[in-house]
Structure 1
Amino acid sequence: MSAALTTPTASAGARAGLSWRSSLAVFLLMLLAAVAAWQLTPRALPGAAGAGPLPQLELAVPPVIGEWRLVPSLREQVDLAVDRDGERLISQPYDQTLLRTYQNVRGEQILLAVAYTRQQSQEVKVHRPEVCYTAVGFEVLSLDPARLGVAAAGTQPVDGMRMVARSMHHTEAVSYWIRMGGIYSQNAFDTRLHLLAEGLQGRLRDGALVRASRIVADPREAAAAYPQIERFLSEFTAALTPEVRALLLL
C-alpha cells in the first residue's frame, strides 16, 4: 500500500523539479534577451549627431555663391521626402531642409537642395533622389556613380551620383551625394548595410543629402552641364562655415 502511495508523490516531485527548472530557463532567456536588446538599441553619437542645437541651413547658406545669386523660382523642385506614390511623407525624416534656386548673369539657373537628419535607422533615413524623382513622374534616363568634382579644404573626395531625369515638362542633369555617417552612399544596399552594422554596434548615425541640378534642353547636354553644376557645389561648400561643412561632408 505504501509503495503504491510513493509513486505518485515521486512523480509530483519530479514534475515540480522540472517545472522549476523550466521556469528558471525561461527567466534566464528573457533576461538575456532584455540585455541583448538594450545593448543593440542604437544610441546617437556625440558631435554632429549629438543633442546640441544644429546650425540653421537657411542662415548658413549665403544668397551669393560665386557668380550665382539667389532668385525667386517659379519652378517647383522635386521634394526631398516623398513616398513611391508621389505623396509627401507625413513623418518628415529630416531635421532641416533647404530648397533654393540660384542664377548667374547669363540667366542659367541651378536648383539646390540640402537636407540633414540627426539620426537615421533602417526605417527613417535619407531618401535617394532617383526614388523621389520617379515618384513624382520623372523617368530616370541614367544614373551613374561618380567621383564628383567637389573640393573643400580638409575633406575627403566626394563619391556621389550623376543622374539624368526627364518629365513631360523638362529634363534635369543632377549631381548629388549622400553622406551616411562615416561613408558616402552610392546605392541603397550600401545604406542598409552601413546602418545595420552601426545599429549592431549600438550607434545611430546622422546623414545629409546635397543635390544640385540644371535644366537641359536635351539629355545629351547633361555631360556638359555636370562640370558647371559641380563647380557651383565646390563654391557652395567653400562658402560654408566649418561647422556646417562638417554636417554635409566627410
Structure 2
Amino acid sequence: MNRRDLLMGAAMLSAAGGAFALTPRTRLVLLGDRKIDDVIPAKIGEWKHYPSSQFVMPKSPGSLADRLYSQTMSRLYVAEGRLPMMVVIAYGAVQNDSLQLHRPEACYSAVGFTISESRTAFVPLGDGQKLPVRELTATSNARIEQITYWTRIGDDLPTDGAEQRRVKLRQQMRGYLADGILVRISTVAETSPEVFAELSNFATALIKAMAPGDRDILIGRPLAAAMIA
C-alpha cells in the first residue's frame, strides 16, 4: 500500500468517525406522555384563562410548522387592573436539521409584522435563579405587540438562532436528539419598560404556578431542580 492510499484511507476513517459522532443514538424527551394543556394552570397569579382566538400562531394546518410541532396551546389570561397576557406554547418531539423550533421573529414577520427591540433578558425565578428569555416588539398597521419568549431544547435554553444551532450540534456530538418547546407570552401595548416588567412578572408566575414535577417541560431539568431545592 502506497502513501497516497494510506492518506485516503485515513481521511475516510476520519469522515466515518465524524459521521458516527454526529449520529444520535438516544432520545431525551422531557414531556413524556403529558399534554401541554394539562400541565399549564388555568389560573396564573392574578390572571385567569379566558377564551380567545386572537393569536399569531406558529403553525397553520398543512404548513411546514404544522409538521414541526406535535402539540400547541394558545390561551388568553386576564386579570382586573393588569395587562391581558396571550400565551402560545409549541412543542416538537424531535429537534434536528429538518425539524426545529421556529422562533417568533420568523412567525411574526411572515404575517406582516416588523420586529424591533430584540434583546436578551432574564426572568427571575427566586433564590437567585434566572430564566434566559428574548424580548421583542412586533409592529403592524393594526397593533403593536410586546413579546417575551424562550426556547428549551433538551435541558438547554438558547436565546437566539445561532445559539440554538450550536446547542443542537453539541447535543448531536453527545449522541442524542432532544425534544423542544417554545413558550411565547405577549400583550398589545406601547413599548415601555413597565410592559416588559409585567411580561416578566407573568412568566415568573407561570412557572411558579406549575406543579414542581412539570416545570422541567418548560425550563429544563437543572433550572427546575434548582427551583425545587
What amino acid is the match of 2:99? V
- In 2, Cα distance between the equivalents of 1:123 and 1:156? 33
1:151 aligns with 2:125: yes
Q: Distance in 2 between matches of 1:182 and 1:119?
A: 13
Q: Encode CA deviations 1:38-81: one digit per residue, 9 max, x unaligned.
A: 553113334627xxx42111122121112111112152x11124
Select between 102-111 and 189-198 the one with higher mean Cα deviation: 102-111
1:125 to 71, 78, 100: 100
**Rounded Cα–Cα distance in structure 2 between residues aligned with 1:34 and 1:91:** 34
> Which whole-Å deviations, capped at 9, do the CAs of 1:95-140 have from their partners, x for residues lacking one?
3211100111237411011122232112211111111111111011
For 1:244, the aligned partner's letter is: D
Offset from partner CA, 1:186-215 (integer Å, 9 cap, x none): 111111112112212322122221111110
Given candidates 137, 145, 160, the residue that maps to 1:172 is 145
Consecutive unaligned residues in structure 2, runs of 5 or more: 224-229
Contact in 2 for aligned 1:109/1:214 (Cα 8 Å): yes
Name the CA distance, whole Å, in 2 between partners of 1:110 and 1:210.
12
Q: Distance in 1 between matches of 2:114 and 2:179?
A: 30
Determine the C-alpha separation between the residues in 2 that align with 1:94 and 1:242.
24
- 1:187 and 2:160 aligned: yes
Structure with higher strand content: 2
> In 2, Cα distance between the equivalents of 1:130 and 1:180?
18
Change (3 A) 1:90 1:151: closer
Give distance in 1, aligned partners of 2:96 and 2:11: 27
- C-alpha distance in structure 2 between counterparts of 1:140 and 1:39, whole Å: 38
Taking the aligned partners of 1:177 and 1:36, their CA distance within structure 2 comes to 31
2:24 paired residue among 42, 58, 62: 42
Q: Match of 2:23, as an amino acid?
A: T
Task: Indicate the structure whose relative CO is greater, using CA pairs within 8 Å and at least 6 residues apart.
Answer: 2
Kept in 2: contact 1:97–1:116 (CA 8 A): yes
Q: TM-score, normalised by structure 1?
A: 0.74
Change in Cα spacing, 1:74 to 1:29, as seen in structure 2 (3 Å) is: closer
8 A contact 1:68–1:102 mirrored in 2: yes
**1:80 corresponds to 2:58:** yes
1:126-175 alpha-carbon deviations (Å, 9 max, x no partner): 11111111111101121111112x4167x941111111111111111111
Contact persistence 2:148–2:200 (CA under 8 A) = yes
Of all paired residues, the percent bearing the same amino acid is 28
Alignment of 1:1-250 (within 5 A): 37-46=19-28, 48=30, 53-75=32-54, 77-81=55-59, 88-89=63-64, 91-106=66-81, 108-148=83-123, 150-151=124-125, 156-216=129-189, 218-219=190-191, 222-249=192-219, 250=223
Q: How many residues in Structure 1 have an aligned counterpart in Structure 2?
A: 218
Where 1:62 maps in the other structure, the secondary structure is coil
CA change 1:91–1:34 in 2 (3 A) is farther
Q: Contact 1:143 / 1:162 at 8 angstroms: preserved in 2?
A: yes
- The structure with the larger Rg is 1
Offset, 1:34: 6.2
Q: Distance in 1 between matches of 2:171 and 2:65?
A: 26
Structure 1 unaligned blocks of 5 or more: 1-16
- Structure 1's 71 and 57: CA in aligned 2 closer, same or farther, altered over 3 A? same
